[in-house]
Structure 1
Amino acid sequence: MLSSPLPLVEVNPSSKPEAVVIWLHGLGADGHDFEAVVPALQLPEALPVRFIFPHAPEMAITAFGGERARAWFDFETSGSSAMPGIDRSAHAIKDLIQQEIDNGIPADRILLAGFSQGGVMAFHVGLHYPKALAGILALSTFRAEALELDDASSAANRNIPILMCHGQRDEVLPLSLGESTYRALQQAGYNIEWHDYPMGHEVCLEEIRIMGRWLVRVLSDQEISAD
């Protein structure tokens, strides 16, 4: 486990939150990276959601020649599936979930979101977690190949709603990586939705609007009108 809780950015609704989204940033970014996305999601006031954006710890990245960056795990460029540190970060994220449960938010009202490395963590924690969570929002990412589905999934989250979005021109994590994860989860019977967009390793406004509508549907079974 990490020796201390993850530092974080918190965006709270105007009324008492009824659900929580824990949003995990990508390699080299920090918790502020997706903070500005919250208003663009256009969530209704009737659905008060707290957003938590933790900062990943700084660590030496093997693929960067040992240069330090905020990351959820280390990795190499050699194609190795080993990801040192992933379990340590998973413990820290589970601690965040437990903290929200202790604050009165049920596990099934807590949703994990993640971009790139953060999405790898959202899958890793969400598919393992022993209590049913609200959903997994996985952006420009993939499920770690080292984790077999039969071993990775918990019975509590076999029906967890999943939204995957990916850029068609992503040069960091190619579209094929996301597509292979989507197909594997779909074939395994997961409740998963897929969207791809003519963009690189990033997010776009159309994607954010889709995310907002999906969050409303998952967290409240309501619909909001498209622009």
Structure 2
Amino acid sequence: MRLIHAVYEPAGEGPHPTLIAMHGFGANALDLLGLAPYIADGRFMVICPQGPMEVPIGPTRGYAWFPIRMGGPPDREAIEDAGRAATEFLNVALQKYPVDRKKLVILGFSQGGMMAYRLAVRNPSKFAALVGIATMFPPELKDEAREPESLERLPTLVQHGRADDMIEITRARASVETLQSLNMPVTFREYDCGHEITAETLTDLSEFLTTKVLEPVISA
């Protein structure tokens, strides 16, 4: 597989409900893996790909999906390259691991959330749910939305801290408005925290995944 990745696999042969978890700028494949036992009581297989771009973080190094240009326009080519790499990874992972394809969730934190939005909006029928944490919806993606009927059936959870000093809460609120304009069923949760995942975040995430993916209520 092209991207380094880490995997948490529940007991049993599967297929398992599966969460593709995409880390933020400067982190790595292990960054979100430690959350796996606490998400919905560890019932999801969690697959964490690592961004292809190496970035210096003080004396060590981290990884990113695409470069950040402070005050400048985004690097569209790098973003598209990352999108292609993530899509290729996803397709191979579905073949390699015992994934329940009817219960596949895409989740991203910060920059990884932007990638999760990109994958979901372009291929909504692949996913049972979408989660964006401490992130923002890239405005240009609205014009790239595909399969509107699938988007309208894609449960989406947006979680954000009011004290986030990396991505301001106003960007998350604007993202929710954009998602709603695409008729996506959005659940929005704000927290008294910064650019982070807290115990309260995990509790709400677990409840969302349980009710929308693991034990959905099917209306007649």
Band of TM-score, shorter chain? 0.7 to 0.9
**Matching residue within 80, 91, 101 for 1:98:** 91
Question: CA–CA distance in 2 between the matches of 1:6 and 1:189?
Answer: 33
Q: Which amino acid aligns with 1:26?
A: G
With 85-94 and 192-201 compared, the bigger mean Cα shift is at: 85-94
Map residues 19-168 of structure 1 onto 2, 5 A cutoff.
19-43=17-41, 48-59=43-54, 69-103=62-96, 105=99, 107-129=101-123, 131-147=125-141, 149-155=142-148, 156-168=150-162
With 81-90 and 168-177 compared, the bigger mean Cα shift is at: 81-90
**Matching residue within 159, 182, 185 for 2:179:** 185
Question: CA–CA distance in 2 between the matches of 1:153 and 1:222?
Answer: 24
Question: CA–CA distance in 2 between the matches of 1:187 and 1:222?
Answer: 24
Structure 2 stretches lacking a partner, 5+ long:
none
Q: Is the 8 A contact 1:142 1:177 kept in 2?
A: yes
Q: Is the 8 A contact 1:127 1:153 kept in 2?
A: yes
Post-superposition CA distance 1:167-223 (Å, at most 9, x none): 101110000111100011123311110001011111110110100111111222259
After superposition, the Cα gap between the structure-2 partners of 1:17 and 1:108, relative to the gap in structure 1 and judged at 3 Å, is closer
TM-score by length of 1: 0.84
Structure 1 stretches lacking a partner, 5+ long:
none
With 101-110 and 68-77 compared, the bigger mean Cα shift is at: 101-110
Shift of 1:99: 2.2
The residue aligned with 1:197 is: 191
Q: Which amino acid aligns with 1:52?
A: I
Q: Is the 8 A contact 1:142 1:181 kept in 2?
A: yes
Q: Is the 8 A contact 1:81 1:145 kept in 2?
A: no
After superposition, the Cα gap between the structure-2 partners of 1:134 and 1:30, relative to the gap in structure 1 and judged at 3 Å, is same
**Matching residue within 4, 7, 12 for 1:10:** 7
With 26-35 and 82-91 compared, the bigger mean Cα shift is at: 82-91
Shift of 1:94: 1.5
| Aligned-partner SS, 2:94 | helix
Question: CA–CA distance in 1 between the matches of 2:27 and 2:207?
Answer: 26
Q: How many residues align?
A: 212
- Percent identical pairs in the alignment equals 22
Question: CA–CA distance in 2 between the matches of 1:208 and 1:23?
Answer: 13
After superposition, the Cα gap between the structure-2 partners of 1:190 and 1:58, relative to the gap in structure 1 and judged at 3 Å, is same
Shift of 1:150: 4.0
With 9-18 and 97-106 compared, the bigger mean Cα shift is at: 97-106
Relative to its length, the structure with more helix (as a share) is: 2
Shift of 1:102: 2.4
| Aligned-partner SS, 1:26 | coil
With 99-108 and 20-29 compared, the bigger mean Cα shift is at: 99-108
Question: CA–CA distance in 2 between the matches of 1:209 and 1:164?
Answer: 14
Post-superposition CA distance 1:135-191 (Å, at most 9, x none): 1110000111222x2422333334211100001011100001111000111233111
| Aligned-partner SS, 1:43 | helix
Shift of 1:97: 2.3
Q: Is the 8 A contact 2:121 2:144 kept in 1?
A: no
